[in-house]
Structure 1
Amino acid sequence: MLRHEFHPGKLVAGLFLLAIAVVYAGDAGGAWDAPWFVALPMVMVGLLIAGVVAAVHGIRPRSSGRAGGRRPPD
C-alpha cells in the first residue's frame, strides 16, 4: 500500500463536521433540541481551527532522513 502524507487540518475539519452530524442526528432522533442556526458557528470554528492546525503543521521543520525528502545539492 502506498503511503501518503498526513494532513491534520483535514482531520480536524472532518471531526468538526462529524460532530455537527451527531448534533443533528440527536435532534432528529428526539434526544435533544438543536436550533437550526447551530451549524454555522460550528462550521466556522471548525474551519478556523483546521486552518490554524494546517498552518502550524506546514511551518514545522521536516527531517532530512524521510523518504522523499529533499537532498542537499552536490
Structure 2
Amino acid sequence: MLRHEFQPGRLVAGCFLALGGVVYAGDASGAWETPWFVMLPLAAGGLILAGAVGFVSRAVRRRQSRRQPG
C-alpha cells in the first residue's frame, strides 16, 4: 500500500538540484573547477523539466480518473 501519491515532477526537481549539489561539492573538494554560473541553467532547466513532467502527470491522472466509473 502506498503511503502517498507518487509525484514524478518533484522527483525530477530533486534529482537536478542534487546534481547541482554534487557539482558544487566536486568543486569544493578540488576534483574539478566549476564556474559560478553553471548552477543557473542546471537549476532552471531542472525546474522547467520538472514543471513539464508534473503537468503531463497531472493530465494523465485527470484523464484516468474520468475513465473510471464513479
So what's the TM-score if we normalise by structure 1? 0.81
- RMSD (Å) for aligned C-alpha atoms: 1.6
| Residue number in structure 2 paired with 1:44 | 44
Residue deviations 1:3-49 (CA, integer Å, cap 9, x gap): 20011000000000000000000000100000001111111100000
- Greater fraction helix: 2
Distance 2:2 2:57 in 1: 22
Runs (4 or more) in structure 1 with deviation over 3 Å come to none
Larger RCO (CA under 8 A, 6+ residues apart): 2
- Count of aligned positions: 66
The separation in 1 between residues aligned to 2:53 and 2:33, in whole angstroms, is 31
1:1-74 equivalences in 2 (<5 Å): 3-60=3-60, 61-62=63-64, 64=68, 72=70
Take 1:2 and 1:18, find their aligned partners in 2: how far apart are those partners?
A: 25
Gap runs ≥5 in structure 2: none
Report the TM-score, using the length of structure 2 for normalisation: 0.85
